[in-house]
Amino acid sequence: MVRYSILITTFLVSLLLAGCSKWNLEPKTIQSDTSTQPSSPLPSSLVIFGSKDKKVYALDAATGTKYWEFITNGGTVNTSAAFYNGTVYVGGFDAYLYAIDAATGARKWSRQAAADRFESSPVIDNGVLYIGNDDKRFFAIDAATGTQKWQVTAGDKIISSPAISNGVLFVGSSDTRVYALKTDGSTLWTFKTGSIILSSPTVVSGTVYIGSSDKKLYAIEATSGKQKWVATLGDKVNSCPLVVGSTVYVGTDDFKLYAVGTATGTILWTTAKTGNFVGGSPAYSNGLVYVGSGDNKVYAFDATNGAKRWEFATNNEVYASPVVANGLVYIGSNDGKMYCLDAATGAKKWEFATGDQIYATPLILSNGAVVGEYPTISGIIN
């Protein structure tokens, strides 16, 4: 999940209902199909992800062989995909949302939904897609048709990806605030941090965990928006926190992965420094925490003490976040390749080269269902 350096802007307005928005774009829908249709039988498992080369790919998860590719209308796809009812959903830098048949790569619908690029990844709940945009707006979209249901406006870009829990949406903004929204678009509460928010929230047992560029990790009561605790870390927290049991795992720009206790925010341990910032989000499986780094490497750390188990070198920075499924780690790199690694040893199983950098977290589908252990990125499990 790439994180961009963004100038901090003063908070301008509270979230407003769609009718108060200053944007009134007439959504554009393109019906033409620009995908490359599959010519082989459907593999038992697919790896689906977007690339900066303006395409979405589906690969055989076992071999890395391309099954289909989908070409956008001209927009980079840095967002991670959501999956619902046989359909893959992504947002593009061309301001379009795309609904793609997961089995064939055929376009179901595409719609210019915003005035700027989508860097936020979607979450889907009860047939409604929720996503933020760089034009400061947050959208609710009918997943079946692409029709907008409502929109609200924040004070700055929404790069953070939303989470949903108990009928409430949570998302951060570059206006320094965390927003809690009801599914009708009304605001439940807002919480102000000390800087822009590129991190995405995770919600566990009534607590919202989210990082901020003010070098802090926050725990916020989901119902009231009151701060439970705050942990000050070594640098910007643009990584998205992952909660496993009583521990929160999160990367920072001081080149480290942190383990923080969920009860009080006590720092339990930090890894030794990697060679660059850890902006991607960690994933957990079988006692190991996996994460990419700006030093071109993918790491596996012991979840109990932060000891390094293995590292794997790609050929460029790793902004993307990993997914673990069936004993394998899938992760993209800025070298334009998707890698499949042995989760226990880090040995490479296969690699697949796209035409440009990969920031998106892959989606693993097996027999039409999402499988694997994911970082906190989007609502792919819905």
Question: How much helix, strand and coil, in percent to the nearest 5, is found in the chain?
Answer: 0, 45, 55
pLDDT the model gives residue 126: 95
pLDDT the model gives residue 257: 98
Tokens 């079946």 belong to 144
CATH pick for 18-370 out of 2.30.30.140, 1.10.1060.10, 2.130.10.10, 3.20.10.10 = 2.130.10.10
Q: Euclidean distance between the first and final Cα of the chain, in Å?
A: 20
- Domain residue spans of the chain: 18-370
> CB pairs under 8 A, 24+ apart, for 97-100?
97/122, 97/129, 97/131, 97/141, 97/146, 98/56, 98/70, 98/72, 99/143, 99/146, 100/35, 100/56, 100/70
pLDDT the model gives residue 374: 83
Sign of the alpha-carbon dihedral angle for 26, 31, 35, 40:
positive
Residue numbers of the chain with a pLDDT score lower than 50: 1-32, 378-382
Nearest residue to 132 (alpha-carbon basis) of 165, 170, 100: 170
CA dihedral 212, 214, 220, 224 (to 10 degrees): -100
Distances (CA, A) of 209 to 166, 198, 252, 319, 357: 15, 13, 15, 21, 29
DSSP character at residue 184: T
pLDDT the model gives residue 375: 76
Q: Give the integer Cα–Cα distance in Å for 374 and 297.
A: 19
